[in-house]
Amino acid sequence: MTPSGTIALPSRREQNKLATRQAIADAALAVLRSKGAGNFTVEDIAEEAGVSRRTFFNYFPSLEAALASVTEGFLDHALEQFRLRPSDEPILDSARAALMALADPMTVSPMAELFSLTHDNRALVRSELEAWDHCTTQIIDAARRRLGPDVNELYLRALAGSIISCGKAAMSVWFEQHGPDLSAESLASLRQHLIDAIGLLGSGFTAPAPQTPSAHSPQPAADSQHSA
């Protein structure tokens, strides 16, 4: 933010650095997709991205960190939306609204694909942990900016940890229901799970009412045969 209140645009150099970082992150996911977990190296990612090994390490300290940045990208977008919310809005309302603002289900696609490709590989699960740790720190910083420097530290850390746990739960339930399916319908389900998980946290985990068949729901096949 500039003194006049306008948003400062990144310089050309900063834009180039962001583009290179994104290219490496995209390459990490592409190589994971093509070679499979545990079957590639930093050199493979650098080659896919069209950069040197040295350049790779200028941006990421490890292969796992490059993969973690895929999930971090989505979480950073959500935090950008959070920061745009009214300063007097309850934080969990802001968090839920931020996720809802990411209306295109495809925004969760890279994160969903990374989870699908690494969930059963213990070595690469570290990439997911790094991403969620990054987001925990970002949530704490964003909440502290909202609430002021005197906010209770235990509250901040418990809040951030709870939000992250809800995110992990949403990812796990989605994967159990849809597996590696990355269709628009499946990704829309993941987005909704993320929104609903934050809603549960905001309600104090009030148990949702059991789902009951709608009066307009289709009748079971057996019933329809008897009525034919």
Calculate the CA dihedral of residues 69, 10, 145, 2 and round it to 10 degrees. Answer: 180
| Model pLDDT, residue 104 | 85
Mean pLDDT across 173-182: 95
Mean pLDDT across 136-149: 91
Spatial neighbors of 135 by CB under 8 A, at least 6 apart, are 71, 72, 75, 79, 164, 167
Mean pLDDT across 155-159: 94
Q: How far is CA 217 from the centre of its chain?
A: 33
Mean pLDDT across 11-22: 89
Q: What residue type is assigned to position 7 of the chain?
A: I
- Which residue has better confidence, 195 or 218? 195
pTM: 0.80
Residue 3 has pLDDT above 70, yes or no: no
Spatial neighbors of 225 by CB under 8 A, at least 6 apart, are none
Residue 220 has pLDDT above 50, yes or no: no
- Please state, rounded to an integer, the average pLDDT across all residues of the chain: 86
Rounded Cα gap, residues 13 and 21, in angstroms: 12
Residue 53 has pLDDT above 90, yes or no: yes
Spatial neighbors of 112 by CB under 8 A, at least 6 apart, are 171, 174, 182, 186, 187, 190
| Model pLDDT, residue 211 | 63
Residue 203 has pLDDT above 70, yes or no: yes
